[in-house]
Structure 1
């Protein structure tokens, strides 16, 4: 599980909206009846999620925030859209932590990114004057987080069959194989056939030693195993040379 940190998407949105101490912050002017109220970001959140939240004021906050974000030109810094996402975050945390407790293989950073994308996508289709526009944004983001988490947990890692077969079938070229010191090499070259080319077969046989001195080799046995019967088809020519000698 990805721990909470300053590099998370939600944390970056917090910094983007609240800014440094003493910096300029976005504000909302909401209308409740005949009164116009100027709210800071924190005051807007308290109107939505605070212990003394006012349903009428909260509806006005969502209506104004969504309207300003929807009417924001695309070539601006997107402060209005960022504020809407920031206002939706408290409605996502409970589901975020629940998902992370249920499935530890789900990455928190990816889950946060999915939620933000869902809020922005829902914002593009939101109606500021419709019923509960903020609730719809939060609901779409929650549904997308759960759908993403369930999709990730269903993914089963599989073996890379191609890489496994390549590693299994890999062979060391004959010229790279270590040669037995003082031994012999047997090269069998098949005759040309219509079906195509046939590779040379190579066998290496070391000279046996006894008491530090070289004894008789088993080379006759090796040649005997490679011989052909007089009536059998020719399978190739056989060449004997000391191991490592020039061909």
Structure 2
């Protein structure tokens, strides 16, 4: 059985179902033919996934778990639904780890939560008497896990437009502006507009020196960097001044 991290959703389900060692043990009473069998949680899982599992006993476990999960009130403690989810978890581990290895952007906690939601959503539609009922439910949950992972990987993070606009329009006091000694600054002031983002663009270029003497500037390069294409729209007015000069 594959273990999960101590803070994961699956680990919390394990803790809730199994409880501490000295806590009262939960059990499931199933009927196989004319016999009633009492099973502790670990025995119920072995009946579904164990190497020497009994098909009749496994079907009885699944049928009883679905029955108890469905009959509990919605405002109850949810112990029946939690136990059913716990029974399904071993069938999800392989695909869980495959998804996490394939897509690093998928958060494990979110993926496990999505799997739990899928189990609960599929509960009402599950047919406990159908052939391979537990296998069909696991397949449905796995499909939803993969669909969620693919959806997350297609999401493109975007900048906070409001914060970007506020930062761009913030005026820094002249005494707080970094000054480039013996350099040039190019400021591009955008034309007035009512909508959209706008802010002054600033390019700074120091005056190269050699042996303490100025050897000229790369002013053409600086203006070249701030230029616009001849077919592009006008984005503002260009101002050239020594670094730190008053406006």
Shorter-chain TM-score bucket reads 0.5 to 0.7
Deviation at 1:161, TM superposition (A): 4.1
SS across alignment from 1:38: strand
Go from structure 1 to structure 2 and tell me whether the alpha carbon gap of 1:4 and 1:36 turns closer, same or farther (over 3 Å shift): closer
Structure 2 Cα separation of the partners of residues 112 and 10 of structure 1: 7
Question: Contact conserved, 1:91 with 1:138, CA < 8 A, in 2?
Answer: yes
Q: Report the TM-score, using the length of structure 2 for normalisation.
A: 0.65
Q: Distance in 1 between matches of 2:163 and 2:12?
A: 40
| Alignment check: 8 A CA contact 1:17 1:25 kept | no
Question: Are the counterparts in 1 of residues 92 and 142 from structure 2 also a CA contact under 8 Å?
Answer: yes
Q: CA deviation at 1:78?
A: 1.6
Equivalent residue for 1:225? none
Give the equivalent residue in structure 1 for 2:174: 177
Q: In 2 relative to 1, CA 104–178 (structure 1 residues): closer, same or farther, beyond 3 Å?
A: closer
Let me know the Cα RMSD of the aligned residues.
Answer: 2.1
Q: What does residue range 43-122 of structure 1 map to in structure 2 within 5 Å?
A: 43-122=43-122
Structure 2: which 5+ runs fail to align?
Answer: 177-247
Q: CA deviation at 1:162?
A: 4.3
Deviation at residue 23 of structure 1 after TM alignment: 1.4
**Larger CA deviation: 120-129 vs 158-167:** 158-167
Q: Alignment length, in residue pairs?
A: 174
> How far off is 1:153 after superposition?
0.8
User: Residues 1-247 of structure 1: matches in 2 within 5 Å?
Assistant: 4-172=4-172, 176-178=173-175
Tell me how far apart the structure 2 counterparts of residues 54 and 4 of structure 1 sit (CA, whole Å).
27
Deviation at 1:139, TM superposition (A): 1.6
Q: 8 Å contact 1:26–1:79 — kept in the other structure? A: no
Distance 1:167 1:23 in 2: 56
CA distance in 1, matches of 2:91, 2:18: 18
Partners of 2:4 and 2:10 within 8 A in 1? no
How far apart, in 1, do the equivalents of 2:64 and 2:150 lie?
A: 34
Deviations 1:195-219 (A, max 9, x none): xxxxxxxxxxxxxxxxxxxxxxxxx
* 3-state SS of 1:89 partner: helix
Query: Structure 1 unaligned runs (5+)?
Result: 180-247
Which protein has the larger Cα radius of gyration, Structure 1 or Structure 2?
1
Change in Cα spacing, 1:79 to 1:169, as seen in structure 2 (3 Å) is closer
Q: TM-score, normalised by structure 1?
A: 0.65
Moved more, 88-97 or 151-160: 151-160
Distance 1:35 1:166, change over 3 A: same
